[in-house]
Amino acid sequence: MPDTSERLAGWISPKWLVGGVAVGSCALLASYDARLGMAAGALLAVVAAVWLYIALRYGSLSGVPSIRTALVERSSQQAANRRKAVRRSGAQDRADPAERT
């Protein structure tokens, strides 16, 4: 069954971790050489702009319900239905399996 949690170590999302590492490396490059830092910053800005465009157009920021969220909800509903069916059938068990309907 799919898990609703997409967190790394329970408190940080992987996209923010990657973004933080990218900004940190850009700052490290800028402290080493200003031109290299500006080039890395420009590359980071282009990547961020492309990610934002894709997120707004097709992704989670577009307002369209996520397919994954629907799948998680459906699987949890099926699991709840199975538990409910097991509880019902447990009360109706008979000694002879041939007597079950």
Each residue's pLDDT expressed in tens, for the chain with a length of 101 residues: 445 555 555 677 788 888 899 889 889 988 999 999 899 999 999 999 998 898 888 776 767 677 778 888 999 999 999 999 988 887 565 556 565 55
Amino acid symbol at 85: A
Residue 92 has a pLDDT of: 61
Question: Counting Cβ atoms within 10 Å, is residue 97 exposed (0-12), middle (13-18) or buried (19+)?
Answer: exposed
Residue 62 has a pLDDT of: 67
